[in-house]
Amino acid sequence: MEPKTEARRPLRVLSLDGGGVRCIIQLAILDELERRAGPIYRCFDVIVGSSVGALVGCGVSLGFGMQESTELFYSFVDEVFSKHDRLHEKLKRLSWWSFSKHSDDRVNEVLQKIFGNTTMQDLLVKPTMVLCHNPQKARPEIISSDEERYASVPVWEACKAATSAPLYFKPKQVKTRYYSDFLLDGGLISNNPALFGLSKGMQIMRQRHGEADLSDVLMVSLGSGKIREETSTTLSGHLNALTTAPFFGSSEATHYGLRDLLGRNYYRLQVEIPNHLKRPDESYNIHELHAITEEVVERHYLPVIEHLAGLVTEAPAQAAPIVDTGTVTLVPEGEAALHDVLIKSGVKSLN
């Protein structure tokens, strides 16, 4: 067993929440990080994504630049969520045995254009983990680039499975070396997949060094927008709570748990958004979401991103920042802090 030394560098994990169109928030933040740290795929040892966050993660792991990824994401949103089908196509999807709001043929075509013939073994970051739900086995299915059984799975198929949310898209059949199952959106298991990234990071460090503890993992977790909703006792209020809690609520629950576990090795970058932007498939929201995030980054996140750039590159570690709700300041040297970044978009300033 290798003795633990302070010089041992933590494993760098990038976790990407699901959120449909709202994942433009992640690309805007990663774009700023790339300007300071270089290609994002070189900044992390593990990438894990849930739902559309998996699509963002696979793009990073193929070496896509963030400007290119943003352009591709705009195209994806426009093609998948904006196109209007002919009447017979809509009626076909309304059949009880094959209901889906959006066209599977279209999303398959767009994903194949983006990822081509690449397979999981072609991804540059190993492991890159695509979180899905396997209803047949009632468990998570993590399509990982470092596992032989998933090596030949096309990246576009993994991303389609990870984004196959019930009612929005049909389940996706994924064939591995050992079995073939229908998979669903990873957000049904965990919309915030950071816990899976932490588990994988600890496993890797134990394999490398014989032992590991929580200080061996540096977690950068990117949200896809947080909303605040009024409590309502009406039927629509109850239904709204039932549909939003599994995604927004579970993401924040994971965040609070990891914040306490990892302390100064944990960074959660999240943006609070207006209620009207919460829908994951409203294509016309993407421009407002992008603009809000760019403003938040400019007004609040730049010190944090500058600090992260030092942590995820070969540059020496800097003093850790204190990040409080609505503010960004730097921690005095030697002082510990939790890195919980939650900014109300355009509401609070640094002063």
Task: Give whole-number Cα distances, 30 to 59, 100, 166, 179, 273, in Å.
Answer: 12, 32, 29, 35, 18
Cα dihedral: 27, 33, 39, 44 (round 10): -90
Of 310, 288, 341, 207, the residue nearest 28 (C-alpha): 288
Residue 71 Ramachandran class (φ > 0 left, ψ -120 to 50 alpha, else beta)? alpha
By DSSP bridging, strand 217-222 and strand 11-16 are parallel
Predicted pLDDT at 166: 79
Q: Under a CB-based contact definition with an 8 Å cutoff, are residues 25 and 19 in contact? A: yes
Task: Give whole-number Cα distances, 153 to 116, 144, 290, in Å.
Answer: 12, 10, 32
DSSP 188: G
Half-sphere exposure of 7 (CA within 13 A, CB side): 2
Tabulate helix, strand, coil % of the chain (nearest 5). Answer: 50, 20, 35
Strands (E), 28-79: 46-50
Q: List the structure tokens of 304.
A: 């944090």
Predicted pLDDT at 211: 92
Whole-structure pTM value: 0.85
pLDDT average per 10 residues of sequence, the chain (351 residues): 63 96 96 97 97 97 97 93 54 49 86 96 97 93 96 97 88 89 91 96 94 94 83 62 63 90 94 87 91 93 94 57 35 37 39 33
Q: Under a CB-based contact definition with an 8 Å cutoff, are residues 106 and 93 in contact? A: no
Contacts of 347 (CB under 8 A, 6+ apart): 326
Backbone phi, psi, residue 80, to 5°: -85, -40
Tokens 């928030």, located at residue: 25
Q: List the structure tokens of 323.
A: 């990040």
